[in-house]
Amino acid sequence: MNTALINMAMQTTLAAIEPRTIAQRAAESAHENLWITAGYFLAAIVGVALLLSFLGMALIYIERKVAAAFQCRIGPNRVGPWGLLQTVADTLKLVFKEDFVPQMADRTLHMIAPFLALLVPVVLLALIPYSPALQVADLNIGILFITAIGGFGVMGILIAGWSSNNKWSMIGAMRAGAQIISYELSATLALLVVVLFSGTMSLTGIVQSQEDGWWIWRGHAAGLCAFIIYLVASTAELNRTPFDIPEGESELTAGFHTEYSGLRFAFFFLAEFINMFTVSALTATLFLGGWMPFHIGDWTSFNSAMDAIPPSIWFLGKVTAIIFVIMWFRWTFPRLRVDQLMHLEWKVLLPIGFANLFIAAIIVLANAYPYPVAGQ
Amino acid sequence: MGMIRSIETVTAQRVIAGKTISVSVVQRKQTPNKLSIAFNAVLGLLKGMWLTLTYFWSPEKVVTRMYPENRDTLQLTERFRGNLRFKFPNETAHKSHAALLEHITHETQTLPEVASEWIRDEDPTRWYHNCTGCSKCEEACPNASIRILTRQGEILEDREIDRFVWRLDSCMFCNACVLACPWDAIEMTGGFENAVYDRRLLVYCLNKLAGPRINLIQDEQDAAVRARMIDPRERFGGPIPMNGAGLPNLPPVALPAPPDVSTGAA
Amino acid sequence: MSVQVRTLDDLLHAPLDADSELTTQEYLVNMGPQHPIAHGSLRVVLRLDGETVKHVIPVPGYVHRGVEKMCEHLTYRQIIPYTDRLDYLSAIMNNWAVAKTVEKAANIPTNERIDTIRTIMSELQRLQSHALWWGVTGMDLGAYTAFLYGFREREIIGEIFEETIGARLTMNYIQPGGLMYDIKPDFAQKVKNLLPYLKGCIEQYETLLSGNVIFQERLRNIGILDGKHAIALGCTGPVLRASGVPYDLRAVEPYGVYDKVNFNVVVGEVGDCWDRYYVRLEEMRESVRIVEQLIDNIPEGPHATIRYNEEIILPEGLHYGQVETARGVFGVFIASDGKNKCPIRLHFRSPNFNNLWIVTAIASGWRIADFISIQSSLDLVIPDIDR
């Protein structure tokens, strides 16, 4: 994680001249010099690509170390100091492996599917406000965009399962389709609660609306409830234990990516981990105040001490905490069955989500926050 | 959906096959209402998470053993059934042997069992053995991993061991040969690092000398006669096919070269 | 439940439900021999309708080594290391089955010390086997951490075996007329130190999996096998006892020193996967109880009553002996002609072979995920099925 952290801090310091997104800067510079615009675009692409590779490597390493700690093991410790280069070695191995396509597979779709799966989290990565000055693009319909693009993620999995021409892959893909689309509903309902509270769909706007307190506790029980629903629903969308039925190792061998090898398998693997980061980042942004420091009422000295920590560190800390919780779920719980999964969504989470949205609306109408909201 | 709140066993008496035996019956209690089901469900999940978290925070509970880094401290139990080996009663009686063995083991990072055979000692008394070639071990072996070749003794006019061929590749380490041996001539040792690049190297001769038992040699007073009683035997070599020596159509085996050490070196 | 003899070919080419407006197309899929649930190499052909299992066809034989035929050329002592390799998780108990049969047939006496040590070792092995099974069940249902916790306890008991016997898996410990080695002086103390730790571990098992709502939902009321059918299908061990039949050879036909210790036979009420799970967990507690009662007063005496090289020839006739392994009744059937050192015919009645076939009876109509629960609740060891 150190490397990613340093990278993030460097980018923060470079871009912390003015709190504007890279897209805004690019748009402004378009009036003066198109080369600068192109430079901004290049910087954004390179930044996201760097972030992607760092995140992939770091998260896989962290996952393995965390799993080892839960299981009384040491984890990777052979390649490099503390096994830090293990992920690099694994990636190299995957790069040089045969890219195997089954004979009866739909070749084109089989080739495309991993890229589709990776596309979604990468696009979402561009929307996340990492710090006041570091964000690739801030859309005024941010939440809508996230929901729309997030729902697209299932395409890669479905195509992968279908094109492999393998019964296990097919079952896995069908399970994934049913699961992701179902849990999309609960996740969206939980997002709507935050939209109600903050009155904006822009992610930066949502972060700024939490200046007086994070929505998880400022929104009374509704905020907390929405947070839990979102965490559960997005764990399900990530296909991670206890909701890993599309991959379900002991049932479907590897589910939708059974027939993938080499770099294409690596893409699915990377997509899973980037997705995990994206979901954690969104959770942090929406419920835990994004890069906002932790403030307590009028404790000015405490608040200023909190302010001294850079916003990107705050953001990273929150994301790390949520990632840890998701990993903790994975290394503790067994897996649900398909119909239990559907039961949990349609009969438990969805009614609670609707009720929660209703309560949130009442709170917003009554303006019954513990602290007054500035400008509302 | 219903949570089993508590699992209890009730002791009872049951009759089966004409016998009354005491049984404990696993019973399950259904939780009365949905609220307590939900509460217990969440509580159960949290308890599980707390358990794994306690392991997360306690690095002292790590059970991993770092092999091969722990070779120096690796303690195999006295009865561990690894490689089969001849017992050489005179071996440790030799002066400076122990020091040399330690030196080689340390220098080459090898197990003592292997290093011991590298010590080139001109004195053959070190390799006197207990084996009489009675073939009890060969009879006891369940999968024919042992082959005893005997020869007619030159001096004592009795059958004596020529080659004790042990096939490591088919051995299942059941210890039957050691238990069957009436003379206490063989033992199982802690050696387990048997990997080689050519499987012909997994068949070898355990004895270092062809000849009679140790006491029969030592009873002989004349040193010249004692020398005629015995013949050296290589670890690999001999008439058995696959015995390291090579087969007609196969290239000869590259034997691992032992380091150049002798008793004088220590 | 009627018995129909059909070949695998018949089953695989049986007409599947055709496409129509109301039913979906059925399809066959191979679960194994290379599959995580195969636990080795068991092939199971599933006839599926979407997620629903319509029919289960187990196809054993992928690890068939002809052990019984090989044993016709081996002496009774040489047979014992081969039994280690059948149900390798109950190696000592399998050894005991052969030793018991041979001792009974050839009138070889044993003494109190031998019987006590055999019983202690068997119960330790049962604990070891159930600990591994618990972990594997967790892994099959997706809780991978449970697998490593189960393995940890297994290795700790393995240390004790290694000290006494010299091997951890294929022990070849119990011999006709005694034991391979006597126990070491500090054996009793080491076992006594271990028992409280194992009790604590069983409590952790309860917290991590038994108390987990997901785990309970995956096992409860799944794959119900009633006592009548369990007997009809020849099930033994925890699978039979979970169906409410308290048949345990340790209590019904006591051997060793089982008649001198107090323990309960654990039975279930429903016969579902949960009962099979919990019966095993309770059996671990009972095993700890048995070892606790025996470990303090191991009688003195020699560890073998006959010399190792003594020739054992069974009288002419058919001999049968059986013990309760961790998975059920393991029986040894020996036909001897009274002249040879080797049996002329030999058959192992292995518990897993009979327990396997109930999947066809109980898994139909459940989902794929339930089939996984059923498979792991049966605790199959494949080399024991194929022999």
Q: Is the peptide bond before C196 cis (omega within 30 degrees of 0)?
A: no
Distance separating alpha carbons of residues B246 and B244, to the nearest angstrom: 6
- Which tokens sit at C248? 């345990």
Q: Which chains lie within 8 Å of chain A at 3 or more CB pairs, if any?
A: B, C
Distance separating alpha carbons of residues B226 and A141, to the nearest angstrom: 100
- Given an 8 Å threshold on Cβ–Cβ distance, is C282 in contact with B26? yes
| Closest CA–CA distance from residue C308 to any residue of chain B (Å) | 6
Give pLDDT tens digits for C289-320. 999 999 888 888 888 888 888 888 888 889 99
Nearest residue on chain B to C271, alpha-carbon basis: B26
Task: Answer yes or no: are the C-beta atoms of C141 and B163 closer than 8 Å.
Answer: no
For C145, which of A244, A332, A335 is closest by C-beta distance?
A: A332
- Given an 8 Å threshold on Cβ–Cβ distance, is B175 in contact with C308? no
Residue C366, in any domain of the structure: yes
What is the CB neighbour count within 10 angstroms for residue B182?
13
- Given an 8 Å threshold on Cβ–Cβ distance, is C172 in contact with B19? no
pLDDT (average), residues B28-56: 83
Distance separating alpha carbons of residues A369 and A360, to the nearest angstrom: 11
What is the CB neighbour count within 10 angstroms for residue B78?
9
What is the CB neighbour count within 10 angstroms for residue C13?
10
pLDDT at C20: 53
For B77, which of C162, C209, C262 is closest by C-beta distance?
A: C162
Task: Answer yes or no: are the C-beta atoms of C260 and C222 closer than 8 Å.
Answer: no
Residue C34, in any domain of the structure: no
| Closest CA–CA distance from residue A75 to any residue of chain C (Å) | 13
Identify which has the larger pLDDT, B105 or B155: B155
Place of tokens 């994070």: A214
- Which tokens sit at A235? 């764990």
Characterize A352-364 residue by residue with b for buried, 16 or more Cβ atoms within 10 angstroms of its Cβ, and e for exposed.
bbeebbebbeebb
Q: What values do phi and psi take at B189, rounded to 5?
A: -115, 175
Nearest residue on chain B to A75, alpha-carbon basis: B64
- Given an 8 Å threshold on Cβ–Cβ distance, is C143 in contact with A338? no
C205 touches chain A (CB under 8 A): no
On the question of pLDDT at A10 being above 60, the answer is no
CB interface of A with B, residues 225-284, below 8 Å: none
Distance separating alpha carbons of residues B257 and C199, to the nearest angstrom: 52
Instruction: State which H helix or E strand residue C53 sits in.
Output: strand C52-59
β-pairing verdict for B19-30 and B4-16: antiparallel
CATH of the domain at C162: 1.10.645.10
Task: Answer yes or no: are the C-beta atoms of C343 and C71 closer than 8 Å.
Answer: yes
Residue C9, in any domain of the structure: no
> What one-character DSSP code corresponds to residue A133?
T
Place of tokens 């091997």: C167
Which pLDDT band holds residue C95 (cuts at 50, 70, 90)? very high
Q: What is the DSSP string of C220-266?
A: TT-S---HHHHHHTT--THHHHHTT----HHHHS--TTGGGS--PEE
Q: Which chain A residues are closer than 8 Å to C208 by Cβ?
A: 332
Place of tokens 């929901």: A147
Query: How far, in Å, are C38, C381, C382 from residue C87 at the CA level?
Result: 15, 6, 8
Residue C25, in any domain of the structure: no
For B80, which of C74, C166, C211 is closest by C-beta distance?
A: C166
Give pLDDT tens digits for B187-197. 888 777 778 77
- Which tokens sit at B172? 């299942």
pLDDT at C333: 92
pLDDT at C341: 87
What is the CB neighbour count within 10 angstroms for residue B68?
9
Of A34-48, A147-161, A292-306, B152-166, which gets the smallest average pLDDT? A292-306
Identify which has the larger pLDDT, A346 or B264: A346
On the question of pLDDT at A12 being above 60, the answer is no
pLDDT at A1: 47
A172 touches chain C (CB under 8 A): no
Place of tokens 């897996």: A335
- Given an 8 Å threshold on Cβ–Cβ distance, is C81 in contact with B182? no
> What are the residue boundaries of the structural domains of chain A, listed by start?
96-365
- Which tokens sit at B64? 């991993």
A251 touches chain C (CB under 8 A): yes
For C143, which of A175, A251, A334 is closest by C-beta distance?
A: A334
β-pairing verdict for B19-30 and C265-267: parallel
User: Which of A7-16, B74-83, B101-110, C114-123 tops mean pLDDT?
Assistant: C114-123
Identify which has the larger pLDDT, C345 or A137: C345
pLDDT at A375: 42
Q: Identify the three-state secondary structure at position B186.
A: strand
Task: Answer yes or no: are the C-beta atoms of A143 and A173 closer than 8 Å.
Answer: no
Q: Which chain B residues are closer than 8 Å to A66 by Cβ?
A: 56
Characterize A3-36 residue by residue with b for buried, 16 or more Cβ atoms within 10 angstroms of its Cβ, and e for exposed.
ebbebbeebbeebeeeebbbbebbeebeeeeeee
Distance separating alpha carbons of residues C40 and C37, to the nearest angstrom: 8
β-pairing verdict for B209-210 and C174-175: unpaired
On the question of pLDDT at C21 being above 60, the answer is no
Q: What is the 3-state secondary structure (H, E, C) of C317-364?
A: EEEEEEEEECCEEEEEEEEECCCCCCCCEEEEECHHHHHHCHHHHHCC
| Closest CA–CA distance from residue B220 to any residue of chain A (Å) | 58
CB interface of A with B, residues 84-143, below 8 Å: none
Phi-psi category of residue A108: left, alpha or beta, with phi > 0 → left and psi -120 to 50 → alpha: alpha
On the question of pLDDT at C387 being above 80, the answer is yes
- Given an 8 Å threshold on Cβ–Cβ distance, is C268 in contact with B52? no
pLDDT (average), residues A242-259: 81
Nearest residue on chain B to A69, alpha-carbon basis: B56
| Closest CA–CA distance from residue B18 to any residue of chain C (Å) | 9
Identify which has the larger pLDDT, B85 or B240: B85
Q: Residue C30: what residue type?
A: N
Contacts of residue A195, Cβ cutoff 8 Å, sequence gap at least 6: A143, A201, A206
pLDDT at A21: 64
Q: Which chains lie within 8 Å of chain C at 3 or more CB pairs, if any?
A: A, B
> What one-character DSSP code corresponds to residue C17?
P
For C218, which of A67, A171, A334 is closest by C-beta distance?
A: A334
Which pLDDT band holds residue C61 (cuts at 50, 70, 90)? confident
Nearest residue on chain C to A66, alpha-carbon basis: C145
Nearest residue on chain C to B179, alpha-carbon basis: C308
Task: Answer yes or no: are the C-beta atoms of A234 and A283 closer than 8 Å.
Answer: yes
A331 touches chain C (CB under 8 A): yes
| Closest CA–CA distance from residue A147 to any residue of chain C (Å) | 29
- Which tokens sit at C312? 């054992």
| Closest CA–CA distance from residue A250 to any residue of chain B (Å) | 21
- Given an 8 Å threshold on Cβ–Cβ distance, is B63 in contact with A70? no
Residue C136, in any domain of the structure: yes
Residue C80, in any domain of the structure: yes
CATH number, domain B78-89+128-243 = 3.30.70.3270
Between chain A and chain B, how many beta carbons pairs sit less than 8 Å apart?
33
CB interface of A with B, residues 167-226, below 8 Å: none
Query: How far, in Å, are C77, C154, C199, C384 from residue C161 at the CA level?
Result: 20, 11, 19, 22
Query: Quick one: what percent of chain A has pLDDT higher than 70?
Result: 86
Q: Identify the three-state secondary structure at position C108.
A: coil
CB interface of A with C, residues 208-247, below 8 Å: 241-242, 244-245
Distance separating alpha carbons of residues A328 and C41, to the nearest angstrom: 32
Q: Identify the three-state secondary structure at position A49.
A: helix
| Closest CA–CA distance from residue B113 to any residue of chain C (Å) | 17
Q: Which chain A residues are closer than 8 Å to B62 by Cβ?
A: 72-74
A202 touches chain C (CB under 8 A): no
Closest CA to A178 of A274, A256, A261: A256
Q: Identify the three-state secondary structure at position B62.
A: coil
Total-model pTM: 0.85
Instruction: State which H helix or E strand residue C44 sits in.
Output: strand C43-49
Q: Is the peptide bond before A242 cis (omega within 30 degrees of 0)?
A: yes
In chain B the beta strands, taken as DSSP E runs, fall at 4-16, 19-30, 84-86, 146-152, 159-167, 186-188, 203-205, 209-210, 231-232
Instruction: Supply the mean pLDDT for chain B.
Output: 78
B46 touches chain A (CB under 8 A): no
Nearest residue on chain A to B34, alpha-carbon basis: A348
For A70, which of B1, B52, B63 is closest by C-beta distance?
A: B52
pLDDT at B265: 42
pLDDT at C116: 92
- Given an 8 Å threshold on Cβ–Cβ distance, is A338 in contact with C369? yes
Q: What values do phi and psi take at C181, rounded to 5?
A: -130, 155
Classify residue C231 as exposed, middle or buried by CB count within 10 Å of its CB (0-12, 13-18, 19+).
Answer: middle
Q: Residue A275: what residue type?
A: N
Which pLDDT band holds residue C54 (cuts at 50, 70, 90)? confident
pLDDT at C332: 92
On the question of pLDDT at B143 being above 80, the answer is yes
Which pLDDT band holds residue A134 (cuts at 50, 70, 90)? low
pLDDT (average), residues C152-173: 89
Name which of B50, B56, B70 to mutate to probe chain A: the one with the most chain A Cβ atoms within 10 A of its Cβ: B56
> What are the residue boundaries of the structural domains of chain B, listed by start?
32-64, 78-89+128-243
- Given an 8 Å threshold on Cβ–Cβ distance, is B174 in contact with C170? yes
Distance separating alpha carbons of residues A70 and C322, to the nearest angstrom: 42
Instruction: Supply the mean pLDDT for chain A.
Output: 81
Residue C43, in any domain of the structure: no
On the question of pLDDT at C81 being above 70, the answer is yes
Closest CA to C338 of C313, C311, C310: C313
Q: Residue A278: what residue type?
A: T
Distance separating alpha carbons of residues B241 and B247, to the nearest angstrom: 7
Q: Which chain A residues are closer than 8 Å to B63 by Cβ?
A: 72-73
Of A116-125, C6-15, C87-96, which gets the smallest average pLDDT? C6-15
Total structural domains in chain C? 1
Give pLDDT tens digits for C253-293. 888 889 889 888 999 888 888 889 989 999 999 999 999 99
Distance separating alpha carbons of residues C366 and C219, to the nearest angstrom: 12
* Angle of helix A34-70 versus helix A262-287 axis, rounded to 10: 90
Contacts 24+ apart (CB under 8 A), B168-172: B168/B83, B168/B84, B168/B194, B168/B202, B168/B203, B168/B204, B169/B199, B169/B202, B169/B203, B170/B143, B170/B144, B170/B145, B171/B84, B171/B143, B171/B145, B172/B142, B172/B143, B172/B145, B172/C81, B172/C170
Distance separating alpha carbons of residues C328 and C280, to the nearest angstrom: 12
Q: Identify the three-state secondary structure at position A94.
A: helix
Give pLDDT tens digits for C230-253. 888 889 989 999 988 888 888 888
